[in-house]
Chains A and B, each alone.
Chain A
Amino acid sequence: MANKFRSIETKHYAERDAFFEDLKKLDRRAFMRVAGISAGIVAGMGLRSPHSFQLVNVADAQETKPRFSFAYISDTHLYEQKLNDRFVRAILKAVDDVNALDPQPDFVLFGGDLAQLGQASELKLGAQILKSIKAPVKMMVGEHDWFLDMGELWRELFGAPNYSFDHKGVHFVVLNSILEKDFWTEKKLTPMERMKIVAGLDNALQSRFEVGSEQREWLKKDLAKVDKKTPVIVFSHSPLYKYYKPWNFWTDDADEVQAILKPFDKVTVIHGHTHQLLSNQIANISFHGMLSTAWPWPYAPEGLPKLTVQMNRPDPFSQFDGCGNGRMDVLEAGLVNKLYNLWERNPITVRASYLTSGGKQDVPPRTKLPSY
C-alpha cells in the first residue's frame, strides 16, 4: 500500500492521540484544547457521514413532517479511561455521530448514567467529553451518577436534576426518576457499597426507583401552567412504567406520574436505563427507550410491552453491536419518531404512528432471532 493513502488514518490517530492525552489532564486549560481538538476531529472527519442518519429518508406526509429534531446519547457508564477505554471510545463514537449530523439537531439529550460508579473521575471525564458536542446538551441523571454521593457532584457539574423548558411549542420536562427509599442506613452500607448495589441489576438488596412525592408535586405545579393541547415530552432515566421489577426496569410511582400526565393530549416519555429497543404505549403516553453506548441489555423474562419490536440479539464478537445513539424527530403533531442509530447494523425507525395505532401501522422491521 502506497504511503500516500495513509494520511487520513495517520491524521485520525494523531488527533485521537492528542485528544486522549488531554483527557488525562482534566484541568481547565487542557479542556480548552480538548474542545478545540475535538472540533478538529469532527472537521478532519468531514468526510465521515453520520451514515445511519442520512439513509433514513422518509417521504413524510405533511402532517407528520418533523417540526424539529434532537439527538440523544445515553447510558455511557464511563469508568476512568485507564481502567476501561472501551466505554470511552464508545461515547466518543457517539459524540462524533451527533456532531456530524447534518442538519444539526436542536439539542442533544444526555439520557443518564454518564458514570459507572458515580466517581468524580468518571463524572468529570464525561463532562469534558460532552462539552465537545456542538449542539446544546440537556442533561439527565441516572442512578449510576447518583448513589455514591447522592448527586452532590452531579448537581455541581450539571445543575438541578429536574427542570423544564419550552422549545418550539413543545413543553419538555426532565425528571430525576432514579430516587430510591433508604435501604442503606439500616444495613450500615458505605457509599460505595450502596453505589455498587444500585449499579447491579439482579440483586434484590435495593429499593425500587421512584420519582417521589416531592418531585411529583413539583411536576404538577410545572404542568399547571401548560395548555393541555401543548405537546409534552418527558425525559426520565427509568422507564416511568412497570416493566420488570427484579431488574429495576421499573418506577414504583409510575401510575401516579402517568396520572399527572393524563390530561395532556400528546405525551411522550423518553427514557434510558434499559439499553435496548423498547417501545410502549399506555393510554395517551408513548414511551421510547434509548440505546446505551456501553452495552446492550437482554430483554427481561417477562413484562415486555407488547408493542416493543425487539432488537436482534447482539453479536458479542462485534464490540459495539447492539449499542448506539439516536435521533428523535418531533413531528408537527407533537409526537416523536424515533431513530435507533445502531452501530454495526442498519438503522431502525419506530414511528409515532406505530405506537398510536396500537401496532397496526408502520410496523418496524421485525427481529430475525428470538432474544434469549
Chain B
Amino acid sequence: MTFKMKLLVGTGALLSFAGGVALASGPAARTAAPEVKKHQVPVSKDGDIVLGLCDGETTMEVDGVKDGQKMTREQAQRVSGALMAEWLKKNPDANWDPVPLPAVAQAATPPPPKNPEAPRSPPGVPRTPEKPTAGGSVVQGGVRPESGGKDVKKQAGAPIQDGHTYGAFSERDEAIWAASTQAFVEEGNRVFHDGDLLGSTVAMSCDMCHPDASNTHPETYPKYQVQLGRVALLRDMINWCIENPVRGKPMADDDPRMRAMEAYIYAKRKGTALEYGKK
C-alpha cells in the first residue's frame, strides 16, 4: 500500500446539488454560492482502488484491488484502519474521541456471523444498549392497562390534572413508545453496520471508522464543515461519508436509511448537550 497526500482544490458547486443538498433556493443564489470542494482522489497508476478519508486530503491506494472490484470486509477494515492511523499521525493533537468502552467490550465478543460469505455484510450487528428513549418522564395516574371501573375510582381522587391528552397516557403507552423508538434506532444500527444497505461498492460501512457511532458528534451540527466549504447538517456529513470512504450513492434526505441512521447516531449520544457550531 502506498499513501499519497494531496492538497485539494475546489472543483465547483455541482456536487452539492447532485447530492440533493442545495444551499439556496433561487437560481441566482446558486450561481453566487461559494464553491464546494470535492475530495478528488488521485488515480492509481495500476488501476487500483483509491480511497479518500473524510479530512478531504488523506488518500490511500489499495494494492491488488482494481477499481470496480469489491473488497472483502476484512480488506476494507484493514484499509480503514490504516487510513485512520495515517490521519492520526498527521493530526497528533486532534480531538478524536476514544472508542467508548462498551463498544470495545462488544467488539471483543462479536456475535457469530449470520452470513459469513457475503463480503460486505456485517458479521451480525451488536445490539444498541437498551435505553428508554421516549416518555420516561410520565408519572403514574392515567388510564392503565389494568384500569377499568375499579382503578378509575381510585384515581378520581388523585390530585393530578386530568381529562386531557397527556393525562391519559399509561405505562403501556410508554412501553410502546420506547419500543417503537428503540426499533427505529435498531434499524439505524443495522444500516450503519451494513455496507450493502449503505450501497457501498468497496465494502465499507460506517462502523469501521465510527464504532458505536463514536466521533460522529451529531450534537455539533449545524456547523461550518471545512471539507464541504459550507454549513452542514449531520445528514450532509453522513452523505459525504457514504459518497467518499464508503463509495456509495448519496441518499435522499428523507431516505428511510438516512432517517434511521440519524436516529441511531443521536441515540448513541444521549445525554450529550447540544452544541451547534462546535469545531
The finding on whether chains A and B are genuine partners in a shared complex, rather than unrelated, reads yes
A residues whose Cβ falls under 8 Å from a Cβ of B: 311-313, 315, 317-318, 321, 342, 344-346, 348, 363-370
A315 contacts B165, CB within 8 Å? yes
Q: Tell whether A321 pairs with B164 under 8 Å between CB atoms, given A369-B137, A369-B138, A370-B137.
A: yes
Interface residues of chain B, those whose CB is within 8 Å of chain A, are 137-139, 141-142, 158-167, 169
Q: Check B164 against A367 for contact (C-beta < 8 Å).
A: no
B161 interface neighbour in A315, A317, A348, Cβ under 8 Å: A348
Min CB gap B155→A, angstroms: 11
When distances are taken between beta carbons in the complex, the residues of chain A under 8 Å from B141 are: 368
User: How far is B160's CA from A364's CA once the two chains are assembled, in angstroms?
Assistant: 8
Chain A to chain B: the 6 pairs with minimum beta-carbon distance, closest first: A346-B163, A345-B164, A315-B165, A345-B163, A365-B161, A365-B159
Give bound CA distance, A315 to B137, whole Å. Answer: 16
In whole Å, how far is B277's beta carbon from the nearest beta carbon of chain A? 19
Q: Is the CB of B165 within 8 A of A368?
A: no
A99 to B22, alpha carbons, bound, how many Å? Answer: 55
Interface of B is mostly: loop
Are B167 and A345 in touch, CB under 8 angstroms? Answer: yes
Known: A312-B167, A313-B166, A368-B166. A345 touches B137 (CB 8 A): no
How long is the Cα–Cα vector from A345 to B158 in the complex, in angstroms? 16
Partner of A318, one of B158, B161, B165, B167: B165
- Chain B residue contacts of A367, Cβ below 8 A: 160-161
How close is A276's CB to chain B, nearest CB, in angstroms? 13
Contacts of A311 in B (CB 8 A): 161
State how many angstroms separate the Cβ of B195 from the closest Cβ of chain A: 39
CB-defined contacts of A368 to chain B, threshold 8 Å: 138-139, 141-142, 160-162, 166-167, 169
A311 to B162 CA separation, bound complex (whole angstroms): 10
In the complex, what distance in Å separates the CA atom of A318 from the CA atom of B166?
A: 11
Instruction: Kindly list chain B residues whose C-beta atoms are within 8 Å of the C-beta of A313.
Output: 166
Cβ A346 vs Cβ B161 within 8 A: yes
Query: In the bound complex, what is the Cα–Cα distance between A287 and B142 (angstroms)?
Result: 31
Residue of A nearest to B167 (CB): A368
**Contact partner, B164, options A346, A363, A366, A370, Cβ 8 Å:** A346
Cβ distance B252 to chain A, nearest Cβ, rounded Å: 27
- Whether A369 and B166, one on each chain, are in contact in the complex, defined by CB atoms closer than 8 angstroms, is yes
Q: Please give me the residue from chain B that is nearest to A363 by CB atom.
A: B159
A301 to chain B, nearest CB (A): 15
Q: Contact: A317 with B139, CB < 8 Å?
A: no
B250, chain A: closest CB distance, angstroms: 33
A312 to B141, CA, bound (A): 14
Cβ of A365: which chain B residues have Cβ within 8 Å of it? 158-162
Per the bound structure, the CA–CA distance linking A317 and B159 in Å amounts to: 25
Contacts of A366 in B (CB 8 A): 159-161
Contacts of B167 in A (CB 8 A): 312, 345, 368
A272 to chain B, nearest CB (A): 21
A372 to chain B, nearest CB (A): 9
Q: Which of A311, A312, A313, A363 has the most CB of B within 10 A?
A: A312
Tell me the complex Cα distance, A370–B158, Å: 17
